[in-house]
Structure 1
Amino acid sequence: MNEDKAPFVPYVNLHSDGSMEDAKPARVVSSCRLDIYTFPFDVQECTLTFSAFITVGTELKVFPSSTDEEITKVSKDVMTTLGEWELLDITSEKISHQHESEGHLIDELAFHIRVRRRSTLYVVNLLIPSCFLITVDLFSFLLPPQSVDRSSFKMTLILGYTVFLLIMNDLLPITGNTIPLINVFFCLCLALMVASLLETVLITNLLLGSKNLRPVPRWVRALVLRTLGGLVGLPWRDNKEADTRASPVSEQRRADGAPEEEKGPVVEDNALQELRSLGADLKVIRLQVEQQLGVSQSSEEWIQCCPQKIKSSVVLFIFISLFMHGSCNSIMPNCSRPDSLALLEALRPVFNLSSIRPVVNISTPTHVSIDFILVNILGVDEKAQILTTYIFQYLMWRNEFVSWNPTECGTKWLTVPRKLLWIPDVVINEFMERNLAQKPAYTYLSHNGTVFDAQPVRVVSSCRLDTYAFPFDIQNCTLTFNSYLHHTSAMQLGQIFTTEKILEFSRGMIKTKGEWELLGIAASINRLPSSASVGEHYDELRFFISLRRRSTLYVVNLLIPSCFLITVDLFSFLLPPQSVDRSSFKMTLILGYTVFLLIMNDLLPITGNTIPLINVFLSVCLALMVASLLETVLITNLLQGSSRQSQLPGWLRLIVINMLGRLVLLPPKSTQAVVQNPFTLEDMEAVSGRAGVGGALRKEGVVQQELRRLGEDLRVIRLRLEQEVAGGQSSEEWVQVGFIVDRLLFAIYIIFISASFLTISLIWVNS
């Protein structure tokens, strides 16, 4: 696939019997179909196929000079390095096959090389650290969520694991067709970590906010509390005492054997009235404390729910086209005997004319037929807009100076050095670099003057790439063949095969499964006016190559982690901001996502005209994360400092509370207190003034005086508690604004994530 950069050896050994021995080093860059499903414990088998590039098997045969065991032993002995790969064995295979219709022989010798990867590096640097981190995440379940911020711990762990995978990404194999098993392992580890984090967010929400939830539905109680709870060893026991909780006075009366009700008229004295007033205040205090602490049957049930490589047929097919007869005058060489030496001597006058176009009449154009076979797609550089391919280029034209009698000269064709013949100046317009492929030294010359030239070409061509739908994009690149100097009056272009045959041959030649897949090949021949000569035209043969990117690598390394992180940020809205520092959680998540984007930047395409859709998606994800962080800071400020805020403006109350609140299912709350104070201010003033009425105090007993004093203290405690828990009307409205904004951003998040996931899935399926 590339230039041989090994030192050149200019000599060969020539023996007395005519045998020759040639030895030279070669640096081989070859294509090989790799199966890395079991990476890093994989064994690969690659093939080096030796054959003549243009000479058929009736003229040249190849054989192995040593046995497979000798080749393997010598190779292992000279390999002094201990690198990543270990040589297992080398086997050879002699391949001789014939063309089905013509019977021409193709002779090849294939050496199969089996190598095994040394896996210690990958086990130590990849697998063991991953196992360590997933074990840490396992033990994090031992942290009590009710007293430790387990979500921040898990978020930091996911951040560390993501950075670890991104730094170690160069060690992982990159393929476009199959996913290595180790990549699946890493994705599952990350998915488990994300799932455990989401579970922690959910249980934290239930532990701290279950008091505001409705009672647990019966099907949830039966499925989760009873079935799953018994399965994981956490059976649920009904707490009937919470439903039938009686007042301390009633319990004491039952303990004393007193009846619940007394029949007949009851005469209430002043001490009994004070006790009832005191009991009413105690009930209000108890309800407020229970609401503040979340002690309820529904809360307990919700909390309980969640602790849980040319082919022979191609060569022969091309070679058939050599037998084409022309009607032009030519130089007829006379062979003194029917052998190749006599023919070569007779053709020397023709070889002396290699510097001019081979036509008898200068006004006769030379018809050059062009074709190619796409052997491999080496890569696409989106930044430089360059396509690198490896092709076999075929040219065929007629040399009118050549014609001989096959019977007299003993052969129909002859292989001659390329430098002895005129070669058309056919170039590829999109060529951007020097051809680094090895060039064969010979061409075929037929008895009727037809010349067949074939050579491999490593094409580095410019291509206008459209990466808007990256990584689900299809690229259309062009290879334009034309004469660099000759006009149509001197050279005219045509094709050897149809585009269907070219596509079939190309798909048969491409053995590797890299990032790009060949979809189709089309061709067109155009005659265009020359810009250098007025009235002249030139022919242009243009091939359109359609390629499709295999997107698995980018889905696994870019889209799935991004979806994981944005989902985590979505579920972070379940963390109650009044009890958990949600802003620190979101800041850690933004830090991890930013590091992820910076390290994955080399995978993203860079173009000057359009912005790829994936870049927009990643930018919007980051923008939503930042917006959610700012919203969290705002709502935290409102929750902690709403008591110091001025009264909510009317227009803000109308837009946010009355309109947006109903839109997000958070309607305005009633201004009426939940529990009314059964006593008025006049009653309290009367009670507080009783100490000044000496005559009445002297008429009542000591017990009644103590009860009154106790009642006054309890009323003051109740008023202070109501002010702490409920706050003022302005404070409640500001807090309501914060919750409405939080719910609105949560709904926007859900709409964006659903639309993004659906769009990505549809584009992936359609591509």
Structure 2
Amino acid sequence: MLSSVPRAFFFLSALTVGTLCDTNCTSRRCLAEMLKSYNLTSQPQYENCTQSIYVPLIEYQTLSIDTKSLHLNSRLQAKLVWKDPGLSWNTSLYQFYEVVLPVQSVWTPSIQVTNGLETTLEDTSSDLLVYSNGTVVHSVIINTEVNCEVNLFNYPFGSDACPVAIQSWSLDGCGTELEFGDMRVLDGSHGDWQTLSAHLLQIDNHNYLLVHLEMKPNNPFITLMLPSILIILADVVSFALPLGGGERNGFKVTLVLSFTMFLSILNDQLPGDSECSPIIRVHFCVCLVLLVLSMLVSLVLTRVAKDGRFIFYFCCKGPVQRKTGNREDDEGDISVVQLKGSEEDSRMLRKVVNFLEALSAKEQESERYENIANTIDTVFFWFYFGFGTLYFCGMMYVMVRYTCQINHLDFWD
């Protein structure tokens, strides 16, 4: 009986010491385990049922821009700061001002992208930092793909702004609200586009990042605009070839086929349609019309230079009958008629003269047709050259200077 009393006293003393160790942690890990045991995974709630989340810094980075489908892929890394009174402690009892807790053991805010087609929210680390006054500091990474109606009217000289709307969960006066600080843009050049700047703006209690984008015209100009200019230039120079012989017509047909093949290959690379459809599609259509018109005019003028006709038509002709002065001349073709030498020489000379006169008249008529065709060809060349020059100058001016307005915030309407 006496031996059992010291044993009970020993166990009671050990239990008392263990309790004191739990209430007076001497290490950060002990304090972290104590806070973790609270299991505070619900949002801190006050009388107004709204938790304020301060975002001191957002780092924005453009990952890619799909010009065909008008999608903007971006990455945002945000630092989040909020207060949770349930995670505070008395520094006079626990001699630490900050501890590290697992993210899963406490409540963390959720950030959404309103106009995002696909958005993923990831923690930069599996831990977060908690201060003695209940302030929690955490960082998240947001990968989002938004549908951006970029102004492609001026393609490949386009520039526009694309919004990325950021919000947190809120319903009927409860939830969270975001307060933003600074903004920083990282690595703004990707593919054919470059990010000029990004600004945090607010409209009607909606927060969004307005990302200013600009297309780098070097690659699209070389692959799209320059080939069309060179093909039209080659078509203009082809007027130096003569109308006869068919060299010009064959060359022009080759140009039309080459341009058609060029459009077929680049169809998948042309930008997609938006509210402001790319004017480069109209440009290619006009170039094709000019090439076909030049080819048709060349074909018609070749016909004019040959026989003076503008169109082809067929005329049935009967057998040609030769007219003679008397019956003896008709019979002279069948049987040999004995004539005097002077009369026969005179008639042969007359036939030779008539043949030469007919040949000379045909040559004069052919020369007259060629002169008419060359005159029309010269007039059409200068018209083609002048119209082509004015067209390309006007098209380049419209591509660079004209501005098409798009409402980028219509997803809030």
Q: AA paired with 1:549?
A: M
Q: Mapping of 1:514-553 within 5 angstroms?
A: 514-527=191-204, 539-553=205-219
Distance 1:551 1:410 in 2: 61
What CA distance in whole angstroms lies between the structure 1 residues aligned with 2:263 and 2:401? 24
Measure, in 1, the Cα distance between the counterparts of 2:223 and 2:347.
Answer: 72
- Deviation of 1:431 after TM superposition, in Å, equals 2.1
Query: Which whole-Å CA distance do the structure 2 matches of 1:335 and 1:468 have between them?
Result: 69
Question: 1:358: which partner in 2?
Answer: 44
Q: Cα distance 1:751–1:515, how it changes in 2: closer, same or farther (>3 A)?
A: closer
- In structure 2, the residue matched to 1:722 is 360
| Cα distance change on mapping 1:335 and 1:578 into 2, 3 Å | farther
For residue 725 of structure 1, report the CA deviation from its aligned partner: 2.6
Please give the secondary structure, in 2, of the residue aligned with 1:457.
strand
Matched, 1:749 2:388: yes
Alpha-carbon contact 2:162-2:212 (below 8 Å) kept? yes
Distance (whole Å) between structure 1 residues aligned to residue 362 and residue 177 of structure 2: 95
- 1:436 and 1:542 mapped to 2: Cα distance? 17
Closer/same/farther in 2, CA of residues 725 and 744 from structure 1, 3 Å limit: farther
Q: By how many angstroms is 1:745 displaced?
A: 3.3
CA distance change for structure 1 residues 540 and 475 in 2, over 3 Å: closer, same or farther? same
1:451 aligned to which of 116, 136, 148 = 136
The alpha-carbon deviation at position 483 of structure 1 amounts to 2.4
- Given that 1:335 and 1:343 are in contact with CA atoms closer than 8 Å, whether structure 2 keeps it comes out as no
C-alpha separation in 1, matches of 2:159 and 2:274: 18
Check conservation: 2:193, 2:213, Cα contact below 8 A: yes
Offset, 1:760: 6.1
Confirm or deny that 1:626 pairs with 2:292.
Answer: yes
> Which residue, out of 151, 157, 160, partners 1:466?
151
User: Alignment partner of 1:748: what SS?
Assistant: helix
Using the TM superposition, give the Cα deviation of residue 454 of structure 1 relative to its aligned residue in structure 2, in angstroms.
0.8
Unaligned 5+ segments in structure 2 are: 1-21, 313-339, 403-413
> How many angstroms apart in 2 are the aligned matches of 1:393 and 1:604?
35
Residues 217-236 of structure 1, C-alpha deviation per residue, up to 9 Å, x if partnerless?
xxxxxxxxxxxxxxxxxxxx
Q: Do structure 1's residue 339 and structure 2's residue 27 form an aligned pair?
A: yes
How far apart, CA to CA, are the structure 1 residues paired with 2:89 and 2:310?
109
Aligned partner of 2:208: which letter? Answer: R
Closer, same or farther: CA 580–731 of 1 in aligned 2, 3 Å: closer
Shift of 1:625: 0.5
Q: Deviations over 1:140-162 (max 9, x none)?
A: xxxxxxxxxxxxxxxxxxxxxxx
What TM-score, normalized by structure 2, do the two folds share?
0.73
Q: Say which is worse superposed, 397-406 or 711-720, in terms of deviation.
A: 711-720
Q: Secondary structure of the equivalent of 1:597?
A: helix
Does the aligned pair in 1 maintain the 2:113–2:119 contact within 8 Å?
Answer: no
Which residue of structure 2 lines up, in the alignment, with residue 641 of structure 1?
Answer: 307
Task: Report sequence identity in percent.
Answer: 21
CA distance in 2, matches of 1:544, 1:375: 11
CA shift for structure 1 position 522: 2.1
Deviation at 1:545, TM superposition (A): 1.0
List aligned pairs for 1:20-419, cutoff 5 A.
336-348=24-36, 351-355=38-42, 357-359=43-45, 361-363=46-48, 365-370=50-55, 373-406=58-91, 408-419=93-104
Which residue identity is paired with 1:343? L
The one-letter amino acid paired with 1:725 is E
**In the TM superposition, what is the alpha-carbon distance from 1:434 to its structure 2 partner?**
4.6
1:18-42 Cα deviation digits (max 9, x unpaired): xxxxxxxxxxxxxxxxxxxxxxxxx
| Deviation readout 1:592-615 (Å, 9 max, x if unpaired) | 111111111222111143320211
SS state at 1:565 partner = helix
Residue of structure 2 in register with 1:614 after alignment: 280
Match of 2:106 in 1: 421
2:229 to 563, 567, 585: 563
Residues of 2 paired with 1:545 and 1:342: CA distance? 46
Distance in 1, Cα, partners of 2:259 & 2:56: 49
Distance 2:151 2:294 in 1: 33
Q: Distance in 2 between matches of 1:644 and 1:340?
A: 99
Any stretches of 5+ residues in structure 1 without a counterpart? 1-333, 528-538, 647-693, 698-705
Aligned residues: 350
User: Aligned equivalents of 2:239 and 2:106: distance in 1?
Assistant: 78
- TM, length-normalised to structure 1: 0.41
The 1-side partners of 2:386 and 2:369 are apart by 25
Amino acid corresponding to residue 430 of structure 1 in structure 2? N
Contact 2:154-2:398 at 8 Å conserved across structures: no
Aligned CA distance change for structure 1 residues 761 and 496 (closer, same or farther; 3 Å): closer
1:664-679, aligned counterparts within 5 Å?
A: none
Match of 1:354, SS state, is coil
Whole-angstrom distance in 2 between the partners of 1:451 and 1:550 = 42
Which structure has more relative contact order (CA 8 Å, sep 6+)? It is 2
CA 1:750–1:446 in structure 2 vs 1: closer, same or farther (change >3 Å)?
A: same
Cα offsets for 1:352-380 (capped at 9, x unmatched): 2322x213x33253111236644532222
Change (3 A) 1:365 1:376: closer
Separation in 1 of the partners of 2:162 and 2:398? Answer: 27
Shift of the 473–737 alpha-carbon distance from structure 1 to 2, 3 Å rule, reads closer
AA aligned to 1:613 is I
**Amino acid aligned to 1:542:** Y
| Amino acid in structure 2 at the alignment position of 1:597 | L
Q: Which residue of 2 aligns with 1:662?
A: none
CA 1:363/1:391 → structure 2, altered by over 3 Å: closer, same or farther? closer
Contact 1:338 1:408 in 2 (8 A): no
Cα pair 1:394 1:455 within 8 Å, conserved:
yes
* Residues 742 and 710 of structure 1: CA distance in aligned 2, closer, same or farther (over 3 Å): farther
Give 2:141's aligned amino acid: P
Aligned to 1:235: none
- Alignment partner of 1:583: what SS? helix
Structure with the larger strand share: 2
String of CA shifts for 1:477-532, please: whole Å, max 9, x gaps: 112122233455543321122xxxx1xx32xx3176533212122222345xxxxx
The alpha-carbon deviation at position 465 of structure 1 amounts to 1.9
**Contact kept in structure 1, 2:279 and 2:399, CA below 8 Å:** no
- Match in the other structure for 1:582: 248
Task: For residue 714 of structure 1, report the CA deviation from its aligned partner.
Answer: 8.2
- For residue 568 of structure 1, what is the amino acid of its counterpart? A
Q: 1:752 to 1:550 in 2, by over 3 A?
A: same
Distance 1:364 1:757, change over 3 A: closer
